[in-house]
Amino acid sequence: MTFLCREEQSDKFDQCKASVLRWLGSTEARLDDLEPVAIDIEIIEKQIEEIEVINVVFCFISNKYLILGLQRSVLKSMYTILAKIRKSDL
């Protein structure tokens, strides 16, 4: 049972990591395609909107990755404690 939980957690982490790497690649391409900062106010407002969309997605993905990392840390700690308890019972 413990092995399955670790395996499932590892799979979730790896899937999230792959998702972040895909997003990072596509975001880098989007940033490379952005025009230089404009002088015209209307164009600047459009550029700000483009950057805001990228920022919102970044915040979502970084929070998701952070939460998953924290879950993984908590599970590792729990497994360590469980192993110590089992060892002391022997």
Q: Which 3 state secondary structure label does DSSP give 40?
A: coil
For residue 71, give every residue at least 6 positions away whose Cβ sits within 8 Å of its Cβ, in sequence order, or none: 9
Tally of domains within the chain: 1
Tokens of 37: 């900062």
- Residue range(s) defining the domain that contains residue 77: 2-89
Question: How much is the average pLDDT of 28-39?
Answer: 84
Question: What is the pTM assigned to this prediction?
Answer: 0.50
User: Per residue in 39-78, pLDDT tens?
Assistant: 888 988 888 888 888 888 877 777 777 777 777 777 777 7
Q: What is the rounded average pLDDT for all residues in the chain?
A: 78
Tokens of 63: 């929070």
Q: Which 3 state secondary structure label does DSSP give 35?
A: coil
For residue 61, give every residue at least 6 positions away whose Cβ sits within 8 Å of its Cβ, in sequence order, or none: 19, 20, 23
pLDDT band at 5 (very low <50, low <70, confident <90, very high): low
Residue 51: predicted pLDDT: 85
Residue 1: predicted pLDDT: 44
CA distance 45 to 9: 42
